Amino acid sequence: MSIEQTAPAAPAPSSRSTESSGRRDRRRGWLTFLRDVIIIVLVAVLVSFLVKTFLVRSFYIPSGSMESTLMVNDRILVDEVTPRFGGYERGDIVVFRDPGGWLPVSTDAPRSPIVEAVDWSLSLVGLSAPDSDDHLVKRIIGTPGDHVVCCNTLGQISVNDVPIDETDYLKLPTADSPASADDFDVVVPDDRLWVLGDNRYSSKDSRYNQDQPGKGFVPVGNVVGRAFLITWPFDRFGMLDFHHAVFSGVPEPVGEPAAK
- Which residue would you say has higher pLDDT here, 89 or 4? 89
pLDDT at position 226: 95
CATH of domain 57-103+116-247: 2.10.109.10
pLDDT at position 3: 47
pLDDT at position 108: 53
Looking at 65, 123, 203, 206, which residue is catalytic? 65
pLDDT at position 32: 74
- Would you say residue 194 has pLDDT above 80? yes
- Would you say residue 208 has pLDDT above 80? yes
Q: What is the pLDDT of residues 240-255, one digit of tens each?
A: 999 999 999 999 998 6
pLDDT at position 245: 97
Q: What is the pLDDT of residues 138-167, one digit of tens each?
A: 999 999 999 999 999 999 999 999 999 999
Looking at 58, 123, 138, 203, which residue is catalytic? 138
**CB atoms near residue 243 (< 10 Å):** 21
Rounded (5°) CA angle 48-135-127? 30
User: Is 171 annotated as catalytic?
Assistant: no
Inter-residue contact 159 to 151 (CB < 8 Å): no
- Which residue would you say has higher pLDDT here, 251 or 3? 251
CA distances (Å), origin 42, targets 36, 46, 127, 147:
10, 6, 17, 50
Taking the C-alpha atoms of residue 138 and residue 146, their distance in angstroms, rounded to an integer, is 17
- Which among 230, 249, 225 is positioned nearest to 240, based on CA atoms? 230
pLDDT above 70: percentage of residues in the chain: 68
Q: What is the pLDDT of residues 32-68, one digit of tens each?
A: 767 767 766 665 555 455 455 557 888 999 999 999 9
- Would you say residue 106 has pLDDT above 90? no
List, as one string, the DSSP characters of the chain.
Answer: ------PPPPPPPPHHHHHHHHHHHHHHHHHHHHHHHHHHHHHHHHHHHHHHHHTEEEEE--SSTTTTTS-TT-EEEEESSHHHHH---TT-EEEEE--SSSSPPP-PPPPPHHHHHHHHHHHHTTS--TTGGGEEEEEEEE-TT-EEEE--TTS-EEETTEE---TTT---SSTT--S-SS-EEEEPBTTEEEEE-SSTTS---GGGGTTSTTTT-EEGGGEEEEEEEEEESGGG-EEPP--GGGGTTPPPPSSPPBP-
User: Is 260 annotated as catalytic?
Assistant: no
- Would you say residue 84 has pLDDT above 70? yes
Lowest mean pLDDT among 112-116, 205-209, 227-231: 112-116
pLDDT above 90: percentage of residues in the chain: 58
* Neighbour-count burial of 235, counting CB atoms closer than 10 A to its CB (0-12 exposed, 13-18 middle, 19+ buried): exposed
